[in-house]
């Protein structure tokens, strides 16, 4: 049993590259620390939607995205301080390799937050060479040099001994443990990544197996002590007087990609978040003032979405009455004339945007997006600055030139289509970089 002090134990779990095992090790540590009775606060470095949902599955706590570029350094510091406060352990799952991503890298985040880094290495195809890798990570940016190392996919006791001896001889980082190659744990995936938490991809027995393996092979007590530090202090954020405003948010298996901090920013203005399911519901929540359709996998549920004609008609009426609706990525696809799924079958949708959406087998777009609005929208007058991320496999027909383009994007593309007071496009926005946009959204919706 761990000897727990009052301080918080916190670290950024980084990797040599994508696929090194960060998510598996992160989930294992989160689940194991939770299993022994500690309060774990999970975080995710970068814009990913899926990993935070898996974090919540194993900890019971909402995971927060920490992205310096997309939401600003000040916002990230405040978010980390507010949500790690009162926890025993805060685990930040990194993104890609430790130094990948510039200002949004795991290394940059660790430096901004003053957190130690723990490096995960897939050693399945190496032995003594692991020491050279670790040595490089220690020397490239010494201020965030890994404090510890977790070896992934160890094949045998002899394999472990060869790696351990080399690392002890040449490196400063401690080896905190390993996961064997034989551990039976995997997360199903598809074109946008791993299955979402709404689809229950982690079986209880698989989580139990992972917990057992982590407890057996990783020194949790040493990891906790190595990363112990004073808990950050952050003033509580006070909500405004109740604004008597209801934001209806689409949330089900088809629409599940949201930044929780966006909802917090709305709640801070007194907004009530009411969820509904485009898959099952026939009406919007009572007293709805504006609608928010997030991203997800509408292409996987296109037939069911198309057959729910009552909800499609409800959204068409909402648009025709010039009330505010905002849709991003999957939500935008839902408001087009229809979706051609991966088997090229067509499914009619809401028809607010006069284009058809077609799924591709290859990625259509990926990257951060810096946006300046060209005209008035739900996010305020022309000239509003917004930041977000784009990642999708679908494409649309050429949009009618008569449809207003709201966004001027840093990739020289004009996007963000507006019909009446419905705004839709492929961008996933994080409003932490433009908090004023939340107030403008409420004001615009009331007009």
- Active site residues per annotation: 329
DSSP calls for 83-108 = HHTT-SEEEEE--SSTTTTGGGSHHH
- Residue count of the chain, please give it: 447
* Among candidate residues 267, 315, 269, the one with its CA nearest the CA of residue 291: 315
Tell me the H-state helices in 155-291: 157-170, 204-217, 220-226, 260-268
Distance of CA 178 to the CA centre of its chain: 26
What is the 8-class DSSP label of residue 235? P
Give the C-alpha separation, 379 to 436, whole Å: 8
The residue behind tokens 């001889």 is 169
CA 378 distance to own-chain centroid: 24
Q: Which pairing describes strands 189-190 and 193-194: parallel, antiparallel, or unpaired? A: antiparallel
Under 8 Å between Cβ of 380 and 371: no
- Closest by Cα among 148, 96, 174, 160 to 123: 160
Strand extents, DSSP E, 365-412: 365-373, 385-392, 394-396, 404-409
The SS3 of residue 102 is: helix
How far, in Å, are 24, 45, 189, 231 from residue 186 at the CA level? Answer: 8, 21, 9, 33
**What three-state secondary structure class fits 229?**
strand
Report how far apart the first and last C-alpha atoms of the chain are (Å, whole number): 59
Residue 81 CB partners (closer than 8 Å, separation 6+): 232, 233, 234
Closest CA to 428 of 442, 409, 446: 409
Distances (CA, A) of 205 to 152, 177, 197, 201, 303: 21, 22, 16, 12, 32
On whether the CB atoms of residues 394 and 192 are closer than 8 A, the answer is no
Closest CA relative to residue 388, chosen from 333, 353, 428: 428
Beta strands in 185-330 (DSSP E): 189-190, 193-194, 228-229, 245-250, 255-257, 271-276, 290-293, 295-296, 325-328
């Amino acid at each position: 049993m761990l000897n727990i002090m009052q301080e918080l134990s916190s670290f950024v779990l980084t990797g040599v590259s994508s696929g090194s095992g960060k998510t598996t090790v992160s989930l294992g540590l989160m689940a194991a620390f939770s299993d022994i009775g500690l309060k774990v606060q999970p975080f995710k470095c970068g814009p990913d939607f899926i990993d935070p949902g898996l974090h919540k599955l194993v900890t019971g706590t909402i995971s927060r995205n920490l992205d310096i570029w997309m939401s600003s350094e000040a916002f990230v510091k405040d978010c980390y301080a507010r949500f790690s406060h009162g926890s025993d352990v805060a685990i930040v799952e990194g993104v890609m390799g430790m130094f990948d991503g510039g200002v949004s890298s795991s290394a940059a985040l660790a430096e901004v937050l003053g957190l130690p880094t723990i490096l995960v290495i897939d050693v399945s195809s190496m032995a003594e060479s692991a020491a050279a890798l670790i040595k490089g990570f220690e020397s490239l940016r010494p201020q965030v040099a890994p404090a510890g190392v977790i070896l992934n996919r160890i094949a045998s006791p002899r394999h472990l001994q060869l790696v351990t001896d080399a690392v002890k001889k040449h490196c400063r980082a401690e080896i905190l443990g390993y996961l064997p190659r034989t551990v039976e744990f995997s997360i199903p995936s598809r074109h946008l990544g791993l299955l979402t938490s709404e689809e229950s991809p982690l079986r209880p027995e698989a989580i139990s197996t992972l917990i057992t393996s982590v407890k057996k092979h990783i020194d949790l007590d040493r990891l906790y002590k190595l990363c112990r530090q004073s808990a950050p202090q952050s003033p509580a954020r006070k909500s405004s007087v109740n604004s008597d405003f209801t934001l209806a948010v689409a949330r089900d298996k088809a629409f599940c990609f949201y930044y929780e901090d966006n909802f917090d920013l709305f709640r801070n203005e007194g907004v009530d978040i009411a969820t509904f399911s485009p898959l099952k519901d026939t009406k919007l929540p009572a007293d709805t003032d504006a609608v928010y359709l997030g991203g997800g996998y509408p292409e996987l549920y296109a037939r069911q979405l198309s057959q729910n004609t009552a909800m499609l008609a409800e959204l068409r009426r909402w648009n025709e009455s010039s009330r505010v609706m905002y849709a991003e990525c999957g939500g935008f696809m839902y408001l087009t004339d229809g979706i051609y799924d991966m088997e090229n079958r067509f499914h009619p949708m809401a028809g607010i945007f006069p284009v058809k959406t077609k799924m591709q087998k290859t990625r259509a777009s990926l990257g951060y997006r810096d946006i300046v609005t060209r005209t008035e929208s739900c996010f305020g007058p022309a000239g509003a600055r917004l930041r977000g991320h784009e990642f999708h496999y679908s494409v649309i027909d050429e949009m009618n030139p008569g449809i207003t383009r709201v966004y001027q994007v840093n990739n020289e593309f004009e996007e963000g289509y507006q019909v009446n007071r419905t705004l839709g496009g492929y961008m996933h926005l994080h409003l932490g970089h433009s908090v004023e946009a939340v107030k403008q959204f409420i004001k615009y919706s009331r007009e």
